[in-house]
Structure 1
């Protein structure tokens, strides 16, 4: 691997790293040389994913429920038992909720906002001491938040809280990027379109739905795992050292 993109000697935490986009990024970081911690609520799934990912490098699972501030604090405390600093934080854990407008439940709205926005804020807040120890002018610490093209388009698919939650995350990321840059912490957002994940499985498993969905994408295909990993590696490596506050769509042109 070219040294511009090497993560050798760096430590990363990927929330929601057991599957989907989080797992794609975790594997990419491992292949680039990083030590990677993944977290998820399900302790067994977390451990199983960590064992599988260990084929690519040093990976460890940490079970954590990020639906509360206490959960984020507990995750930070667990991580502090293993590392003295955190070079890269990827906030990927998230959720969605779909229902017709007339019957869309408040509990669905609150759940999506909690996990997609509030928990990201809590994770960054709790990880700040470790991020501050890692960051330097020559090599800033990195926060990579996983947003969505749903936060920059109006294509909602009856998931009324999801797009607004991601738009809020994008704006929070800009605010934090401006504030934390003086402490040598970069904050950027990856805004994915369609990638294989649990959230999109209902489309991928239906040939007609997949054809209709793909027709809306200028490149006429979904994203590939290595494309997501490569973008995350770029942001985490020397290639992204001078970038902060960016919202980067990776969607085959869908946002256009």
Structure 2
């Protein structure tokens, strides 16, 4: 169906070399988009590029997006190849777990710089290219990756992470109001448990328990994340903005508090 067709679209996925970012990048490629992925490590970029190349045209650019300078550099490199960017997925992120008594200032700096400040600076850096791609009938799209930990209180002591993701959700709503008149939609996806490096230790220890706690009785699959990315990026999602969409099997949205 052409309702979900992304042929001819240019998409950027930060943190696109593994986990949720790679799931989204794969989905966008399969729907017909040309995709740029980024990650801090050059070897991870090349490995992911080679793996994703079977699905479509993909380019990898190493970038440490915890600084605004690197956000601007990434935008400059992408737009030198593609002046119009139809889809920006802000997925690059970090977490930190430690008890309240010893939770360090450096953790707050690391997590908020990448998880919360970076999406803002990336939207600003890419905005001319997003506006160039946008039309009233087919807006440009920004997809911010939040978390269900920004919706409910997590059981683990990840204070900076959950706070940053709640901030991402509010930033999404704020930017949606600001950029709507420019024909740019801004939405957030709030993933629950998916197989990723960030979740690996937790799933190894508690995966079965987490799956049983979900109303759908499983953890997320790559197609679940690919699907929501394609929906929000395609004509099917052109009238959706300012939304925070949990993709969690119902964990956060049906919690009983017991």
TM-score by length of structure 2 reads: 0.96
Could you tell me how far apart the structure 1 residues matched to 2:202 and 2:155 are? 15
Q: Which residue of 2 is the match for residue 68 of structure 1?
A: 67
Task: State yes or no: 1:139 paired with 2:143.
Answer: no
**8 Å Cα contact 1:192/1:249 also seen in 2:** yes
Cα offset for 1:119?
Answer: 0.7
Q: Which residue of 2 is the match for residue 230 of structure 1?
A: 227
Please identify, of 215-224 and 37-46, the stretch whose mean Cα deviation from structure 2 is larger. Answer: 215-224
**8 Å Cα contact 1:38/1:61 also seen in 2:** yes
Structure 1 residues without counterparts, runs of 5 or longer: none
1:218 alignment partner, one of 215, 220, 226: 215
Q: SS of 1:243's equivalent? A: coil
**8 Å Cα contact 1:92/1:146 also seen in 2:** yes
Q: Which residue of 1 is the match for residue 102 of structure 2?
A: 103
Q: Which residue of 1 is the match for residue 113 of structure 2?
A: 114
**8 Å Cα contact 1:150/1:156 also seen in 2:** no
Cα offset for 1:211?
Answer: 2.1
Query: How many residues are aligned here?
Result: 253
**8 Å Cα contact 2:210/2:219 also seen in 1:** no
Could you tell me how far apart the structure 2 residues matched to 1:194 and 1:38 are? 22
Cα offset for 1:205?
Answer: 2.6
**8 Å Cα contact 1:13/1:37 also seen in 2:** yes
Cα offset for 1:204?
Answer: 2.7
Q: SS of 2:78's equivalent? A: helix
**8 Å Cα contact 1:156/1:163 also seen in 2:** no
Could you tell me how far apart the structure 2 residues matched to 1:77 and 1:155 are? 37
TM-score by length of structure 1 reads: 0.97
**8 Å Cα contact 2:95/2:161 also seen in 1:** yes
**8 Å Cα contact 2:111/2:164 also seen in 1:** yes
Cα offset for 1:80?
Answer: 1.6
Structure 2 residues without counterparts, runs of 5 or longer: none
**8 Å Cα contact 1:150/1:163 also seen in 2:** yes
**8 Å Cα contact 1:188/1:243 also seen in 2:** yes
Relative to structure 1, is the Cα distance of residues 36 and 121 closer, same or farther in structure 2, using a 3 angstrom cutoff?
same
Please identify, of 30-39 and 210-219, the stretch whose mean Cα deviation from structure 2 is larger. Answer: 210-219
Could you tell me how far apart the structure 2 residues matched to 1:37 and 1:155 are? 32
Relative to structure 1, is the Cα distance of residues 165 and 156 closer, same or farther in structure 2, using a 3 angstrom cutoff?
farther
Write out per-residue CA displacement over residues 165-187 of structure 1, whole angstroms, 9 at most, x where no aligned residue.
00111001100000100000000
**8 Å Cα contact 1:188/1:245 also seen in 2:** yes
Please identify, of 209-218 and 51-60, the stretch whose mean Cα deviation from structure 2 is larger. Answer: 209-218
Cα offset for 1:156?
Answer: 4.1
**8 Å Cα contact 1:7/1:29 also seen in 2:** yes
